[in-house]
């Protein structure tokens, strides 16, 4: 087979030097290395050549293919670089100028605080329940929690009702009942979520956020509850907090308590409610209250954030005021 490698590459280089654009370079590649290109056509001819000579010619064509591939890749980089330089000159960009930063979004302070509180209780082995029921019936929101018919929370002026049986939940305590009904003991859950009440002023909102904690197990007592609350508040505010438990009343707990913290102005400030799960609730679902006991606590998220940052108007969280929200852009609790 009569084939001269030097002459072949000289012809290629003549064509190669005439290429100016990426499009022309691709045409050159196809012309030489495509399925019907010159190199492939020449390779097909060697099948009729004796074996020893075929091997020698095959090595030559492999070298030619590598040479062409490398030259095309090099030319492509040069053309791309030249195109970039031309664009820079046309736009007359000054790369010594400071760059423009994109505005990066951030989590809402309420969401961030919920994540922080969750991270604290995960350390204590709590399971986080995110899919709580916001539309509830009277049984789970009131009846099963020992809330009587005459309780003010059942009145139209306090609660958002859809009909005589369905409402927007007034507390995350409804999830106590849903979890207890499963009878998968022991129970150790934390339920964050939205709750709804007909209040609106600088310390109240028709929609706000709560976190409900619940433990049901053997040998659970008020000492366990006090330790958890102390641990949570110390961790939350990153210091040893001075707190007190005041006797209170909730239909679904007995003993019941309000928890206060000593505020910066040396005044006591209510921060959460808690108590031991009422035995009637356990017995209602055939859980032996002599064998099992439980504790529960509820935390208002907005109130925590207001304390954390010294904010005096809860409505600011819901106004989508960027000047207000951007203050928390770099705030992380954990």
Residue 245 lies in a domain: yes
β-bridge partners, 213: 190, 297
How confident is the model over 226-253, as pLDDT tens digits? 999 999 999 988 888 899 999 999 999 9
Whole-number Å distance between alpha carbons of 236 and 162: 37
Q: What CATH code is carried by the domain that includes residue 198?
A: 3.30.930.10
Residues 34 and 176 in one domain: no
Assess whether 209 and 317 both reside in one domain: yes
Cα angle 31-35-37, degrees, rounded to a multiple of 5: 30
**DSSP-derived pairing of the beta strands 187-196 and 127-128:** parallel
Determine the structural domain holding residue 282 and report its residue range.
109-328
User: Given this model, what pLDDT does residue 87 score?
Assistant: 79
Q: Are residues 121 and 77 in the same domain?
A: no
Q: How far apart are CA 168 and CA 161, in angstroms?
A: 7
Does residue 186 sit in the same domain as residue 84?
no
Residue at a domain's end among 91, 126, 145: 91
Whole-number Å distance between alpha carbons of 313 and 269: 16
Domain end residue (candidates: 91, 118, 152):
91
Instruction: Annotate 229-250 with b (16+ C-beta within 10 A) or e (fewer).
Output: beebbebbeeeebebebeeeeb
208 and 137 belong to one structural domain = yes
Instruction: Supply the DSSP string of 170-228, one letter for each residue.
Output: S-TTHHHHHHHHHT-SSEEEEEEEEEE-S--BTTB-SEEEEEEEEEEETT--HHHHHHH
In a shared domain, residues 58 and 138: no
Q: Is residue 123 part of a domain?
A: yes
Q: Could you tell me if 196 and 71 lie in one domain?
A: no
- Distance in Å from the first CA to the final CA of the chain: 76
Same domain, 206 and 313: yes
Residue 100 lies in a domain: no
C-alpha atoms less than 13 angstroms from C-alpha of 253 in its C-beta half-sphere: 26
98 within some domain: no
In a domain, 99, yes or no: no
CB 127 within 8 A of CB 187: no
Phi then psi for residue 103, to 5 deg, are -75, 120
Q: How far is the C-alpha of 6 from the C-alpha of 315, rounded, in Å?
A: 83
Which pLDDT tens digits describe the chain residue by residue (334 residues)?
A: 556 778 888 888 888 888 888 888 888 888 888 888 888 777 777 777 777 777 777 788 788 888 888 888 998 998 889 888 887 777 666 767 787 777 777 788 888 899 999 999 999 999 999 877 899 999 999 999 989 888 888 888 889 999 999 999 999 998 889 999 988 899 999 999 999 988 777 667 888 899 999 999 999 999 999 999 999 999 988 888 899 999 999 999 999 999 999 887 788 888 999 999 999 999 999 999 999 999 999 999 988 888 888 888 888 888 888 888 877 765 555 4
52 and 193 in a single domain? The answer is: no
Give, as one character, the DSSP assignment of residue 82.
Answer: H
Residues 6+ apart with CB under 8 A from 86: none
How many domains does the structure of the chain reveal?
A: 2
Q: Which two tokens stand for residue 267?
A: 């005044």
65 and 114 belong to one structural domain: no
| Domain termination residue (choose one: 60, 91, 122) | 91
Indicate if 138 and 210 belong to the same structural domain: yes
> 34 and 175 share a domain?
no
Classify strands 253-262 and 135-137 as parallel, antiparallel or unpaired.
unpaired
CB 205 within 8 A of CB 160: no
């Amino acid at each position: 087979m009569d084939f001269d490698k030097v002459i072949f590459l000289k012809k290629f280089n003549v064509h190669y030097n005439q290429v100016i654009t990426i499009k022309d370079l691709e045409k050159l590649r196809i012309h030489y290395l495509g399925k019907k290109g010159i190199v492939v056509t020449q390779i097909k001819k060697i099948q009729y050549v004796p074996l020893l000579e075929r091997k020698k010619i095959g090595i030559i064509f492999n070298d030619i293919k590598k040479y062409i591939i490398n030259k095309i890749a090099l030319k492509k980089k040069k053309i791309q670089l030249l195109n970039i330089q031309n664009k820079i000159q046309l736009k007359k960009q000054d790369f010594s100028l400071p760059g423009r930063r994109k505005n990066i979004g951030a989590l809402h302070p309420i969401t961030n605080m919920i994540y922080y509180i969750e991270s604290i209780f995960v350390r204590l082995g709590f399971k986080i329940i995110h899919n709580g029921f916001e539309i509830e019936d009277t049984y789970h929101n009131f009846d099963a929690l020992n809330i009587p018919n005459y309780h003010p929370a059942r009145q139209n002026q306090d609660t958002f009702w859809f009909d005589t049986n369905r409402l927007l939940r007034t507390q995350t305590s409804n999830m106590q009942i849903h979890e207890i009904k499963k009878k998968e003991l022991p129970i150790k859950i934390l339920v964050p979520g939205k709750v709804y009440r007909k209040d609106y002023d600088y310390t109240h909102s028709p929609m706000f956020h709560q976190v409900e904690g619940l433990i049901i197990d053997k040998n659970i007592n008020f000492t366990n509850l006090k330790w958890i609350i102390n641990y949570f508040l110390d961790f939350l505010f990153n210091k040893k907090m001075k707190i007190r438990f005041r006797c209170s009343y909730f239909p679904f707990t007995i003993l019941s308590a309000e928890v206060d913290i000593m505020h910066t102005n040396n005044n006591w400030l209510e921060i959460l409610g808690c108590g031991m799960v009422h035995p009637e609730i356990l017995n209602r679902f055939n859980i032996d209250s002599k064998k099992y006991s439980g504790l529960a606590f509820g935390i208002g998220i907005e109130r925590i954030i207001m304390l954390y940052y010294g904010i005096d108007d809860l409505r600011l969280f819901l106004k989508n005021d960027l000047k207000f929200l951007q203050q928390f852009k770099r705030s992380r609790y954990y």
